[in-house]
Structure 1
Amino acid sequence: MGVFVVVSGLAALYGVAAGVLLPAAAYRFSVEPGEPWRARCPQGHPLGAPLGPARCRTGPVPHAYGRRALPPALLTGAVCGALGAAAGARPEAVAYVGLAPVLVLLALVDRAVHRLPDPLTLPLAAAACALLGAAALAPGAAGSWRLALLGGAALGGAYLVLHLVNPAGMGFGDVKLALSLGVALGWYGWGVWVTGAFLGLLYGALYGLALVLRGSATRDQGFAFGPFMAAGAFTGVLLGGFGA
C-alpha cells in the first residue's frame, strides 16, 4: 500500500506541474478548423514559449489571456494521481502518467473549438505505442504490447466506420484520438478495451441526451466528443490497473 501511495503522490505532483504548462498550448491550438495556430496574444504580441501560463509580458503592462493555470493543474494532477494509484510501481505507469497531460490538453482544445489537432493526436498515438512497448520489456509489466497494438487498430477502425457513416457526428480527429486510447485500453486486455470504449460512447450519449432534454441543443447539433472518449478510456484504464 505504501508504494502505491508514493507512486500516486509523485504522479499527482507531476500532473500539477504539467497542468500549469497547458494554458499557453491550449490557447495556441484553440482555433477553428482551417485556421492557422495562434502565434500572437489577443493584443497582438508574439507568443513566447509554447508551454506555460497564458500570460504575456510583452508591452508596458503584462496581461493574462486564455485559461487560468489552476483548473488545468488540478485536473491534470487528479488524473495523473489516479493513474499512478491504478498502475502502481509497474512500468506501464510511466506511459499512462507521462502521456496524461497531452490527453487533458486535447480535451481542453476540443471542448473549446471542437477540434483535435494532428500535432497532438498523432504523436500521442506513436508515444503510447513506444512507451508501452518499452514497458513490455521491463520486469513487472501487467499488460500485453501485442494486445495494445491490436486495441489501437481496432478502436481506430471502429471510429473510422462511425466517421464514414456519419461524418457530421464523428470527426476525423476523433478517429485519430481513438488510436492512442485503443492502445492504452488494449494493454490490459479485451475486457478493459470493451469497457473503456463503451463508457466513452455512453458518457457522450448521456451528455448529448442531457443537452436535448434541457433544451440547450437539438438532436442534430454536434458537441465535443473527445473529452468523453478520454473519460471512458480513463475509467477503463483505472479498472484494468486496479484489477491487475
Structure 2
Amino acid sequence: MAVRRRARLSVVPAILAVSPLLRLAALRHSVPSGTASRTGCAACGAPISLTRPWPALGPAARCAGCRARVGPPPGTIELATLAAAVLLVLVGSPVGVLAALAWWLGWTVPAVFVDLAVHRLPDRFTLPAAAGTWLLLGVAVLGEAELGTWLRAVIAGAGLALFFAVSTLLLGRRGFGLGDAKLALSVGALLGWYGWPVLVLGLLLSSGLSALVSVGMLVTRRASWSTHLPFGPFLLLGTVGALLLVTL
C-alpha cells in the first residue's frame, strides 16, 4: 500500500508540469472544424509556443505582445490540472490502472476545453486517449488484474462508442456527436474496468449533470430549447465522479 501511495504521489509533479503543454494544445485546437490550428495571438499575431511568448501559456493566459487574453480563461487549465493530480492521489487503483487514468486525463482535459470553446472534440485528442487507455489497461492485466477485466473494459468502450455513434446517425444534432462517440471509447473502457454498474453510474452522472445545467440555463434564460450543449465536459465530470465514488 505504501509503495502504491508513493507511486501515485510521484505522478503529481509530472501532471502539474504539463499544464503549459495542455494549455497550448487547447489553444491551438480551439478553432472550427476544417480550420488550420492556431499558432499565434488572434489580436496581434505574436507566435505562441512552449518557449515564446511564455505568458500566453501561464495561468494569466495573456499574450506577451499585446496583453490580449489567449486561449482558455486564466487559471482554468491549471485548476483542471491540479484537480487531475488530486484525483490520481485519491483513486486507490493499481499502478497500471493509474497510468491509464493519467494518460486519459492528459488528452481529455484539453479536449474538453476545445469542446467548450468550439463544440468539437478533435480526433487528435480522442483517438490517442482511447488507444493509450486500452493499451495501458492491457498492461495492467500483467500485474494484478485478470484478462476478463480488460476484455470487459474493451467491450464497454466499444459498446458505448457504438451507442453514441448510432444516436448521432438516428437523431442528428439531438443525439451525441461523433466526437463524443470517439471519447466514449476511452470513457467506457475506464468505467467498464470497474464493472458494468460503474459504467451505468458514470452515464447517469454525465446525463444528470447535463440535464441540470440545461435546466439552469433555461430558467435563467441563458439558453433556449434549441441550444446545443457540448457533452464532452459532462462525460469527463461523470467519469471522474463515478471513479471517485467506487474507489474511495
Counterpart CA distance in 2 for 1:29 and 1:99 is 18
State the alpha-carbon separation in 2 of the partners of residues 108 and 163 from structure 1. Answer: 22
User: How far off is 1:71 after superposition?
Assistant: 3.0
Tell me the equivalent position of 1:74. 79
Q: CA deviation at 1:8?
A: 4.7
Matched ranges for 1:1-244 at <5 A: 6-42=6-42, 43-49=44-50, 54-55=56-57, 61=65, 65-67=70-72, 70-139=75-144, 144-169=149-174, 170-242=176-248
- Contact 2:72–2:113 (Cα < 8 Å) also in 1: no
Deviations along 1:79-110, whole A, 9 cap, x unmatched? 23223321345421111123312111111111
Quote the offset at 1:68 in angstroms: 6.1
Higher-RCO chain (CA-CA 8 Å, sequence separation at least 6): 1
Contact 1:11 1:77 in 2 (8 A): no
Please give the alpha-carbon distance, in whole angstroms, between the structure 1 residues aligned to 2:234 and 2:73: 22
CA contact (8 A) 1:148 1:187 kept: yes
> How many residue pairs align between the two structures?
240
Question: % of aligned pairs identical?
Answer: 34
Structure 1's 206 and 55: CA in aligned 2 closer, same or farther, altered over 3 A? Answer: closer
Aligned CA RMSD, in angstroms, stands at 2.9
Against the structure 1 CA distance between its residues 27 and 7, is the aligned structure 2 distance closer, same or farther, given a 3 Å change threshold?
A: same
Q: Residues 78 and 55 of structure 1: is their aligned pair in 2 closer, same or farther, counting only changes over 3 Å? A: closer
Q: Deviations over 1:170-210 (max 9, x none)?
A: 22111111111001111111111111122111111111111
Q: For the structure 1 residues 124 and 183, does the alpha-carbon distance in structure 2 shift closer, same or farther, using more than 3 Å as the test?
A: same
Larger mean CA deviation between 86-95 and 182-191 belongs to 86-95
Contact 1:26 1:109 in 2 (8 A): yes
Alignment TM-score, normalising by the size of structure 2? 0.84
Segments of 5+ residues of structure 2 without an aligned counterpart are: 59-63
**How far apart are 1:224 and its partner, in Å?**
1.5
Distance 1:25 1:36 in 2: 13
The residue identity in structure 1 corresponding to 2:120 is R
TM-score (norm 1): 0.86
